[in-house]
Homo-oligomer: A and B are copies of this chain.
Amino acid sequence: MKRVAKKTITRSLLYIRILEKLIESGTHIVSSKQLADMMGLSDVKIRKDISNFGKVGRPRIGYKTFELKKILEDFVLQNIVHAVLFGVGNLGSAILKYPGFHQDRIKIVAAFDKDKSKVGKKINGVSVYSVKNAVKIISKTHAEIGIIAVPEKHSQNIADVIVSSGVKGIVNFSPISISVPEKVFVRDIDLSIEFLSLMYEMRHK
């Protein structure tokens, strides 16, 4: 199978989401231009992206929303993703309650915190456990992704715990780069950097 560009993958996930909305609203056909307008992209980029997955559109008509969604899903999604969260502070709690995960295909199956007063509680239906039990619970829940939302000074420590549990994917919200074995993939979500780089862009264009 041909290698698909990373950016094509993330855009395809967005296409799927828009297609879901279109289908829900009863739209059966959509053109690349219409999709482009909805997403603020160029139509040719959308056609190019889709072309990675076969010839699915019809000239003079467009794409069948349901069919296109199905094809994109087959290529870029798999089953529901199970994740565990480390750190039930302000950010961690917000993540547990984030509504986007429900409609989408992400399920947080357990949360961990050092704070004993939080352990044993449930937040948005997710139980909070002691970090000590993390490895055991991760293997029991078949979690595939670990989320780091602990204070910066504990991030590397938690990363080590996640790695030792065998999980191969980490979403890191702390503003520090964690070091992990090569086979473990990390996504850094760094709020400050987003703001500051946006500011740079605003100044320089």
List the number of copies, as a whole number: 2
Query: CA of A94 to CA of B149 in the docked complex: distance in angstroms?
Result: 11
User: 1/0 per residue A77-96: CB within 8 Å of B?
Assistant: 11001010000001101110
User: 1/0 per residue A46-79: CB within 8 Å of B?
Assistant: 0000000000000000000000000000001110
Check if A195 sits within 8 Å of B145, measured CB to CB: yes
Binding stretch for chain B, among A24-32, A131-139, A169-177: A169-177
Check if B193 sits within 8 Å of A13, measured CB to CB: yes
Most chain-B Cβ atoms within 10 A of its Cβ — which of A77, A94, A144? A94
How close is A78's CB to chain B, nearest CB, in angstroms?
7
Check if A101 sits within 8 Å of B171, measured CB to CB: no
Which range contains the number of A residues in contact with the other chain? Answer: 35 or more
Residue A117 CB within 8 A of the other chain: no
Using known A-B contacts A90-B94, A90-B97, A105-B196, determine if residue A202 contacts B13 with beta carbons closer than 8 Å: no
Using known A-B contacts A10-B193, A187-B194, A202-B169, determine if residue A177 contacts B97 with beta carbons closer than 8 Å: no
Chain B residue at minimum C-beta to C-beta distance from A91:
B94
Check if A189 sits within 8 Å of B194, measured CB to CB: yes
9 contacts between A and B (CB under 8 A): A38-B177, A81-B199, A100-B175, A100-B191, A100-B192, A106-B192, A168-B202, A169-B199, A189-B189
